[in-house]
Each structure stands twice: as C-alpha cells, then as structure tokens.
Chain A
Amino acid sequence: MSDILVLDRINKSFPGVQALKDMSFSIREGEVHAICGENGAGKSTLMKVVSGVYAQDSGDIYVRGEKATIKNPIDAFEKGIAIMYQETSLFNEMTILENLFLNHEPTKKVLGVPVIDHRTMEKKVDEILRHMNVSMDINAKVRDIGMAQKQLVEIAKALTFDAKILIMDEPTASLTEREVTALFEIIRTLKNEGVSIVYISHRLEEIFEICDRVTVIRDGEFISCRETSETDKDRLVADMVGREVGSYYPKANTDVGGVLLELDGISQGNVLRDIRLSVRRGEIVGLSGLSGSGRTELAHAICGFSKLDGGEIRIEGRAVKIENYRKAMEMGIVYVSEDRAKYGLVAAMSIRGNISLPQIKSVSRRGFIDFDRERRMAEEAIEAFGIKAQGPDFPVENLSGGNQQKVSVARSTALRPKIMILDEPTRGVDVNAKAEIYRIIGELIKQGLSILMISSELPELLGMCDRIYVMNAGHIVSEFDREHATQESILKYALGEK
C-alpha cells in the first residue's frame, strides 16, 4: 500500500503561539490512522491546514505523491480530502439533501442556464446511503435530527465529494455506545472501499479497536508513529505526556488547616454526578480531566452560576445554599474564569475600573465613586501583583494575557475571599507570566487563602497542588496525594482507562 497523503514538516503559528512545529504525517490508502495528543496539542490545527481552512507558514503537502497546494476548502475537496468537524459544520435550517451538496450541487443546463439538478442529487444520495448501509429522510431539516445522525450526514457529505481521504475530528465525542458501534461499521465499510481515514480521538479504547496506526503529537510536534498491533495504552500515554516537571513551581509549604469547603454528592443532570470533594484551609487542590469532563461545570455549580439537582455544599461545616454568584462571594468564594474575555474582565475598561467593579460599593460615597480611593486601590494591586502597565487607567484589552490574568486575580483577592477557584489560570500566557502567576498563587496561600485550581496542564498541577482530583464524564474518578501523583496515572484516569 502506498501513501496517499503526506505532510512534510508543516509549520503554522498564530500570534503568540507556534501551533505546529515541523509536523510530519502520512497515511496509506485504505488505512485508518489515529492522531492523538493532549488538549491543545495541535490536532485540529493540523487538520485545518490539510482541509484548506488555514494556510501553513511552511512545509509541503503531497497527495498521491504529487505536491498539492491547498489554499481553500474547495482545493481540498477537489483533491479528494474531506473533513468532519468537531463543531459540526452543518446548516440547521436546511434539509439534509441541501446540506449534503452545499456549494457543489450538480447542475444541468436549462435554456443555457445552469440550474440545480434535484433528481441527480437524490440519485447520488441514494447510492451513497446504500453504500453506508443507512437510511434517512433526506428532506428532514438538520435542526430536527440528533447528534448521531448529524455525524452520519457529515460522513455522507464527505462521500458526495468522492472523498478518498476522510478526516474525522472526535467523531464519537457525543455518541452513545450503540451509535459508536454503528459508526465503526461504516468506517470498516469505507476502509474496504479504499478510503483512508484520519481518526482524531482522545479515546484510546477506540483507537485500538478501529485504527491501523497511531501518531502521537505533543505541543505541535510529531512524537511517534506506531502500528496499533505493536503498542499499548501505556506507551501511548507516555508519549502523550512526555514532558518533565519543571522546577519553577514555588510550592510554599504552608500549614493546612481544617476543612473549609466540602461538596457532598453534588449532581447536575448528567454533567456532574455525585461529586465528593473537600478543600482545607491553606490548601491548593487541583482538578484535572479532559475538556468536557465537567471541571468548569463543577466550578460554575459551586459559584451558583447553575442550579444543582442534588447534594450539599458545606462551608466550615455549615450547609449553605448558593443561588447566585453574589451569594458565593458573600460566602467567601470567588471564581477566576478560563475565558477572561467572555466572563472575566471588561476588556475596554481600565485596570482601575475592572478592579473596583465587583466591590464598587467600597470605593463609593453616597452612591458616587470616589476616584481617589479607586485609583489607590488599583495602584496597590498593580504593585502587589506585579502587573506591567503604564498606570491604573491603562485599558485592560491592551495588556498581555498574563497581565490580564493578574488583573483578574487581583480583582478577586480584593474581595478578601476564603477560597479562590482558578479555571485554567495559565491558559494562553507565556512562560514568564506563568512563573509569576505561580508566585502569586504561592503568596495567596501564605495569606491563608485556599485554592481550587482547574488545569489541563499536568506539570502545573503536579507542581502546585497538595492534592489532585481527577474527573471523567462528570464523575470524580480518582484522588491523588502530592506524593503519589504522576502524570501517567492522572492521564490514565482522565482518559477513563481505569
């Protein structure tokens, strides 16, 4: 079997991040080839380069041995490359048939005018569906069908291009077990027809079931490529983790006190199930898990952003009801969001305005803001947290990611909380800013604060936390001491392999 698609040393960077570094990859005819890696390893970026959504900065793509320039999605389709996106790219108000042929409807000439040929379309779809061994009402609107059918429509769409290379980005993420079995059936059928499939997934189980080879990528770089028959899960996980724990984690040894926050059997639909967790005074507790495992949802539930179905939250031993975030703040809980732009800061406002926002009362006199007091407060924060800015009136949107994060944290500490929930505190910030954020976390702990830290970066959790909880599919699946936690063991639990 020959290589049908070869990527040769692809580089792609976005402002501030090198998403792909000399990334190479190849797939043979009729092969199912998995790509796996941690969140943000560059899987989706790589596939968007192949499908023409992004242009690579350098590197070559070869299709059937010939060098190919793929500048836009149409180029990719013409080369026989089709992609099923994770966030589906379907059109809700249009019918399945209209979706399948969007922008490449077969046409016929009527009086010299090209018109859409509905009959050819229907005939072709019929053929494709028979091929896939499924049936569906092609005149139903996409908004009326479930997730599983949407995946099928995506596959059928790829086949309308006569795709020879089909890229599936997390196709099973929202499918039930039965639906996954049906999907694999289709994948096998396609494989026998000589279609090559790039299978991107977190689920190691599936990779070993359906794939011939597996390529691991990490931080945008190629790590390994092995036959699935000659490797095992432990090897893959080791490849995925790879990094060494750095030494820039200033974990202060503080005295851990009594239990401050306790969650007893918290549940919420099928997002959170029977969560039991505790945070003691002066403790840093980590919360690990893949994206979608329910970590952020848990934080939102604690802060009163969403309603609980059951369970009890206790603070210092007393059962409390937290209906909204204001209540949470009164109880001494503050939340620093992962999405600073959306939930955290008001981008167009100054540092001063952002810091005083949640405690506007304390800088106001008779309903009017006392600007001197507000400015003093902001200046103190800039000093204490080492925020690099010209002054308190500097707009937050012009700060770097790291400095924005410092403003977020500064604002939250000004409320004098007992416990701070940090959601991905170092996402999108550079190494230096990371080190500073870790230093700040260390300082906060010394002042007697407790921290619940959600992070996808295992080294950071291992370096900073006293204890680490691991979540998978809404459950807390494991709890580790600082001494016993390793990247491999945490990742295995997070992937649901234990």
Chain B
Amino acid sequence: MKPQSVGAFSVRGRGRLKGEGILGLLILAILLLLYIFGGGTSGFFGVQNIVNVLRVFSYLFIAGIGMTMIIITRNIDISYGAVISVIAIVMAAISKTNRHLPFYAFLPVGMLVGMLLCGFNAWMMATFKIPSMVITLATTQIYYGALLLFLDGSIYNLRSNWTWFTFKANLFNYIPLSVVIALALLVASILFFKYSRFVRRLYAIGNNRQGAVYAGINVNRTMIITYVIGGALLSFSSATLATQGSRVTCTVGNNVEMNVIAAVVVGGTSAVGGSGKIYGTALGALLLAIISPALAYVNINTYFTNLVTGAIIVIAVATSALKNVEFRFGKKSRIETRR
C-alpha cells in the first residue's frame, strides 16, 4: 500500500535559479561594482547617499504593495502618481493652516484621501465594467486637473512640522522613519501574502476570473478592497516624497506610477496577472532606487538613467517570458492509483 510517485509531478525542485534569486544577485553585483569603482565608503556608500537610496526604495515599495496586488489580479492603476500628488497637497494644505499640528496627524487624512480616490477607480470598474487601464487613465487626468483647479501650482513656506518627516523623524539618528515603515510593511505584507485568504483570492482572480466566480469569490468586492488598501498605503509614499522641502508642487507624484509598475514587473510579477511575489517587488524597488545614483557615481551621464531603467525592464520581462516557454514542455498526463 505504498503510494507511488506520479511522474508528471517531477517538475518540482528543478534546481534552477528563480527570478527573484537572479534579481538579488544582480543587485549584489551592482553594489559590489559600486564599492570597487565608486570610491568605497566615501562615494556611493556614503551615509547620506544610502539614506537617499533607501528613501526612494521606501516610497516605491510602499506604493508597490498595492500595485503588486492589483497587477496579480490582471488589472492596473496608473493614477497612482496623481493620487500621490493629491494626498501630498491635501496634507500640505492642512499643515499650512495648522502650524502646530504634529505630522502624524496628517497621515490618517492622507490615507483617507488615497482610499477614496483609488476606491473610486475600482468602484467605477465594478459598476460600469470599465477596464482598469481606461478608468485609471481617465481619473489620472481628473485628479491632476482638479488639483490645478484648486491650487495655483504649489504650496510653499511650509514649516518644520511638515519637513519633520524627512529630516527629524529618524531612528537612531540615521534611519528615516519612512524606511522603518517600509521595512515593517515588508514583513507585514510577506505574512499577509502567505497567510491571508484575501491574497489567495487575488491570485485566483488573476488566473481565471470565471473560475474565481465559480469558487464563490465576489470579484467586484475583492477588487474594491484591493484598490482601497493600495490607496491607503499611498499616504506613506506621498509623505516620503513630498516632505523633502518646504514647498510641495501639484506634480510631486508625476510619473511615480511608471517606476512603481516597473518595480513590480521587474520583481517578477507577471504583467498579465496570476503570479507574483511581494519580496520580488521589494527587490525591484531596490534595484530601481539604486540605478540613478549608481550611474551618477560611476560618472555615467544621468541622461542615461531612463535608457538603463528601460533596458532592465525589458530584460526582466523577457526572462520571465522565457520561463513560461520552458514550462510548456513539461506537461505530461498520467494518473496512478495505489492499491
């Protein structure tokens, strides 16, 4: 009565490096090269530069959590940049009129704004069956447009209760609060991805939407909750981005969504949904955060930043496509019973 092993299941443990592993090695290699050619601890690895890189990592990754969940379900939200801008302006406006309020009073307001705007995207998708690409393209214009209507360009002369988040809120004098938040969210999201039913439903929707309905999943509700969670997290990204000076412009979040999407896709989340890992997104965000300063420290013209970023995305997506091709050869069909 010993169970026989079933041949077709031998695909497990193929012994090849997974996408995230390759990405991790790539980042290590870049860091090593920077150490050797970038002037050791005085150049790229100078404290201030590292802190800056980590800050970029923080806002990319925090926004990337929601984006990963959304892309896994085979959807997208390209209004993230606009939503980040709106949150920043709303928080800055409160800070301007209430000079004695501490910064952490702004964050819940920002979360609420993010939840509302992103929730609206998902609600429109669900109610009017509009593809996520189309509705978020439209709301990007609406959110930016509304900002410009209410505000003449920027809010300036913000006081120390605003810049506190970037300059004063440090752990052990060095580690910015935004990085601490990002790392805490990294741990929380890894657990969330592993242990929650909710994330399972997201994978199911991205794999086979009709199948998800057959399994009794309320797809619309799940999508709205996903967008709302993503929107709430944008508050932290927005705070990290916008508090670096005493002035906040309407376009503070411009194009951030593209880098966030890039981090998610480079991190191994399938651009057509159904698969993806949150720590992949973390690695993707780290890589994107490194590229620009790294190029600067090895004396490559910063005009190359976009070119290199683009090339990395192409390579990452192409290798994941190759991975899929390879698996197509592994299909066999056999069942055995034990008796």
Contacts and interface: CB of A to CB of B under 8 A. Distances in A.
Given A93-B270, A103-B197, A145 B210 contact: no
B3 A93 contact: no
Interface string B177-216: 0000000000000010011110011011011101111111
User: Of B6, B201, B213, B270, which is in contact with the most chain A CB atoms at under 10 Å from its CB?
Assistant: B6
B157 interface: no
A276 B333 CA distance: 31
A113 to B, nearest CB: 9
B331 A133 contact: no
Contact of B333 (A91, A107, A137, A149): A149
A102 B215 contact: yes
- In this complex, the interface size class of chain B, counting residues with CB under 8 Å from chain A, is 35 or more
A148 B334 contact: yes
Given A73-B213, A77-B216, A91 B197 contact: no
B213 A116 contact: no
A114 B212 CA distance: 21
A182 interface: yes
B11 A85 contact: no
Which range contains the number of A residues in contact with the other chain? 35 or more
A186 interface: yes
Interface in A164-182: 176, 179, 182
Nearest to B208: A91
Contacts of A103: 197, 200-201, 204, 215-217
A380 to B, nearest CB: 39
A187 to B, nearest CB: 12
Given A73-B213, A98-B200, A102-B204, A139 B337 contact: no
Given A94-B203, A116-B195, A140-B12, A149 B335 contact: yes
Contact of B334 (A77, A107, A140, A146): A146
Interface in A98-121: 98, 102-103, 105, 107, 114-116
Interface in B284-337: 327, 330-337
B190 to A, nearest CB: 13
A186 B204 contact: no
A137 B336 CA distance: 13
B5 interface: yes
14 contacts: A74-B216, A77-B216, A85-B214, A93-B275, A94-B207, A102-B200, A103-B197, A103-B200, A133-B337, A133-B338, A141-B11, A145-B331, A179-B334, A182-B336
Interface of B: 3-6, 8-9, 11-12, 191, 194-197, 200-201, 203-204, 206-208, 210-217, 270, 274-275, 327, 330-339
Interface of A: 51-53, 72-74, 77, 83, 85, 88-94, 98, 102-103, 105, 107, 114-116, 133-137, 139-141, 143-149, 152, 176, 179, 182-183, 185-186
Given A92-B208, A98-B200, A115-B196, 19 more contacts: A52-B216, A89-B210, A89-B214, A89-B215, A93-B206, A94-B204, A102-B217, A115-B195, A116-B194, A116-B195, A133-B337, A134-B6, A135-B5, A137-B9, A140-B12, A141-B11, A146-B8, A147-B333, A148-B333
The 10 A-B residue pairs with the shortest CB-CB distance in the complex, in nearest-first order: A146-B333, A135-B3, A73-B216, A91-B207, A74-B216, A115-B195, A137-B9, A89-B211, A93-B275, A93-B274
